[in-house]
Structure 1
Amino acid sequence: MSDDLLATEFEANRGRLRAVAHRMLGSGAEADDAVQETWLRLNRTGGDTIDNLPAWLTTVVGRVCLDMLRSRATRREEPPVELPGGADPEREVLLADSVGVALLVVLETLTPAERLAFVLHDLFAVSFDEIAPVVGRSPAATRQLASRARRRVHGGSPAGAADFARQREIVDAFLAAARGDDFEGLLRLLDPDVALRMGDGAARLGDGTPAEQAARFFAGRAHGAMPATIDGIAGALVNTPWGARIALAFTVAGDRIIAIDAIVDPDESVTIDLLN
């Protein structure tokens, strides 16, 4: 890959990388440093040996942020959480686009590994298989990191209850559309690039966009789905006719579902709370 093409591909991913770094570090200046370091590592590696550049870049910027957080903890610095009122429009857009400043404050109470697992999985739909090597844990242990972080976020953020209520509303609407075989209704609730994962592996369900594949798969189903909280986020539990249990965990951003994790016969590492 030529240097010009590599630079063009990197610029196309810069916004996403800065969003990941900003939510990890809570500082626009440090986020820029992390993105710059990611570019330097890409330059040294080159693009010819990278199969999936966006995934590679997300993993690298996550690793860079993790190193920065660990270094910050070693130096016992005060966290540089940026609150509203600054003059950086891009930063304010990023904050508004995420779950807000309250989340940044709560994230500072997490360990670096917990923060990375939560941010990459819940906010950017990166699979636990991809996150695990970055934090040096197994996928199951990484899921637990994200689960602990999620419970703290929902419990510690002033907006947590409202955020979860909105997630529940979106998921319940999705389940109702699935039971009613409402393909268009499902599409309206799904992000066009929704990630549908089975056991942390991406599921391929035929032709069409990811949203169309997921809507086609769920349309007419979910009749036996019971509303539940799965690892701290809105979801459902399905008892199948053939005896398997499937936990569905929905990652919601704004008014759209950006990821659905289907966990078949979940073990004790998955926290499931059925709702009345």
Structure 2
Amino acid sequence: MRTLLFGILLLATACRRPSTQFAAMLTPVRPPADYSPYLKAGDELVALGNDPTWSLTVNPSKGTLFFKSGKDSLTTSVPERQTDSDGVLRYNAPVGDGSLNIVFRPDSCVDAKTGQPYDYRVQIDRHGKHYVGCGVSLQKMTLLQDIWVLTELQGKTIAADASRQEVPRLEISLTDGRVTGTTGCNRLSGPVKADTRQIVFGPLITTKMACMGAAGDLEGPFLNALNAPLMYQIGSGRLTLLQNGAALMVFKKVD
């Protein structure tokens, strides 16, 4: 009987769903949404919902908040944002004889129509109507838009030396949906997309110059590493690309 109970306990443990934190570090299978129009516009927060269909953008650079539901839309000044200790973002925007109350609550949220994952559950109240949906902050994505020099690949330190023309680097522009750079020998370019969890490069094209020595040895593994969707961590001038939860490449921001 004890053996049977122990076996049942092991089976129950094995069948548990992985934690949100662990699952978020696994290599994703769904391509990221295209946020380039919002990034070009300078939007910081984006939210949307269904039943009824609605959308919201908050653009601090222009000082505007835009809300649309069906044929009804409004643009107003961005009110002061209130941030709770648990990361909840709140806006209370005066609109005519009423107000637009907006809450961004940090929590996993999947859009029922597209299946796209988001980082916030969003609630909006206006004129007695209640809207619910999903939202995202684009601040993390804006940090990606820079020039990054490779410092580590598959646990090995990458440094400039006499046998290498230059260190591999990537220049990421999500507003244009393009990445350019070098393998350390050949130039590369191609499309790129990212959300707050993952980044997808390619298909990438390169020039065809023959690569000798260290540059030639590095080019293949570097391009292969960029050939699949990758999770990423970014901060303090450092970009880490991960595969199945493990660091695959580390880049340093160009000063």
User: TM class, shorter-chain normalised?
Assistant: under 0.3
Per the normalisation by structure 1, the TM-score is: 0.24
- Give the number of the structure whose alpha-carbon radius of gyration is greater: 2
- Larger relative contact order (Cα-Cα within 8 Å, sequence gap ≥ 6): 2
Per the normalisation by structure 2, the TM-score is: 0.26
The structure where helix makes up a greater share of residues is: 1
The structure where strand makes up a greater share of residues is: 2
